[in-house]
Structure 1
């Protein structure tokens, strides 16, 4: 059995007085990809934001590598080995590609140059754009940069929110292949929120389906693909 890396239990969270998540349970083992699926507004992004410390939970527990994450500052969550790439490809558009990457590893006392070159090996399109400003990049390049910047922190778990949003199918396929490579070759665990259900299930080990803030299914990715009733009811295909 793989090592349990993230354990979420009875999580209640939201914005203001109205909770978005209701008693959510979730587990991610080391070296696995878990896809979080569901309709828009189901609470998927809120789940990632709560795990990474951007939203304070009202109830429940969040344990990462055996330690409680509740109340831990966002920068300390990153230092513990958890990185979050939010929806929208949040990069600093005024900075160059290389400056964005260096920003991602700023707190780590390691050879930044070596770490940046490792990212360029993973993301070949960025290597030729290293001196380009963020606003000069295509949508796909911005997404690669956002992921690369998160990887500069050397996380054990990557929270990735809607990486394929607005991208061409070819770029989406490249990103999914990259996630598979990171899992298989580096042991990185990924908690993936993705509207492109087919793509997500093609790389995921497990899938968790959320509807109206509640977990309605948690199973092997293959089992979710084969469950026609569940797919029709919650996943739209």
Structure 2
């Protein structure tokens, strides 16, 4: 499956209240695109719409393969190569590290490939390898985020969606987690859509940056260019 994601004219909201207004967004295959903006900008609504948790009232959402995701049930997304790491880690705390990881690859029919991915995940996240039998509630915040990311990778996605992965983490751990995204992009060609309030970190790791304000895209360009645009940062990003 090729990567990539294209949103065309997407409008969505809650009840009769629109939150997103005609969003046009393209995430290139093998790239990291960061969507940033203040609280209330519509970032989480955007992610919920892409993952099928919220249905758009207008527009279309397509993968690079041409597959229309607009009406795909949320539970079917993983079968189309889309994996989500939700805000708040999404770890099942009663299960062990290994049980959580195996759960991520449960739908895959090729057990040999799933076993190989488990080995690869432990190689990527060495702290998890050391704590295979530890329950989720025994992990630190950083380890839980690694576990959530590792579980998503067990599905061998073409497109990875992350919602505020740095939330509640120390700066050093945030840098480690976000740096892993670049490694995954470089090693596997993974396509990443990153929703993040930590604007500096997000724009440092991303290839492309999108600024969302009140449900509309106000800037979309190379992440490094956005980071250097003082007027835009002061107006929309608060630094």
How would you bin the TM-score normalised by the shorter chain? Answer: over 0.9
Superposition map of 1:149-228 within 5 A: 149-228=151-230
Q: Aligned partners of 1:113, 1:223: CA distance in 2, in Å?
A: 41
Q: Once superposed, what is the RMSD of the aligned Cα atoms?
A: 1.1
Match in the other structure for 1:235: 237
Task: Work out the number of aligned pairs and report it.
Answer: 235
Match in the other structure for 1:87: 87
SS of equivalent residue, structure 1 residue 216: strand
Q: Unpaired runs of 5+ in structure 2?
A: none
Q: Aligned partners of 2:172, 2:205: CA distance in 1, in Å?
A: 15
Superposition map of 1:47-86 within 5 A: 47-64=46-63, 65-86=65-86
Match in the other structure for 2:9: 10
Q: Deviations over 1:41-66 (max 9, x none)?
A: 11101111111111111111101121
SS of equivalent residue, structure 1 residue 143: helix
Tell me if the contact between 2:142 and 2:173 (Cα under 8 Å) persists in the aligned partners: yes
Match in the other structure for 2:100: 100
Q: Aligned partners of 2:228, 2:220: CA distance in 1, in Å?
A: 13
> 1:223: how far off?
1.1
Q: Which deviates more, 10-19 or 153-162?
A: 10-19
Q: Deviations over 1:4-54 (max 9, x none)?
A: 721001111122221111111110111000000000111101111111111
Q: Aligned partners of 2:60, 2:157: CA distance in 1, in Å?
A: 21
Q: Aligned partners of 2:69, 2:75: CA distance in 1, in Å?
A: 12
Tell me if the contact between 2:3 and 2:191 (Cα under 8 Å) persists in the aligned partners: no
SS of equivalent residue, structure 1 residue 89: coil
Match in the other structure for 1:114: 116
Q: Aligned partners of 2:73, 2:57: CA distance in 1, in Å?
A: 16
Q: Aligned partners of 2:235, 2:17: CA distance in 1, in Å?
A: 25
SS of equivalent residue, structure 1 residue 56: coil
Query: TM-score normalised to the size of structure 1?
Result: 0.96
Q: Which deviates more, 165-174 or 104-113?
A: 104-113
Q: Deviations over 1:195-225 (max 9, x none)?
A: 1111111111110000011100001111101
Q: Aligned partners of 2:99, 2:21: CA distance in 1, in Å?
A: 40
Equivalent residue in structure 1 for 2:132, among 113, 126, 130: 130
Match in the other structure for 2:24: 25
Q: 1:231 to 1:8 in 2, by over 3 A?
A: same
Q: Unpaired runs of 5+ in structure 1?
A: none
Q: Deviations over 1:58-88 (max 9, x none)?
A: 1111011211101111232111111111111
Q: Which runs of 4+ in 1 moved over 3 A?
A: none
Tell me if the contact between 1:102 and 1:116 (Cα under 8 Å) persists in the aligned partners: yes
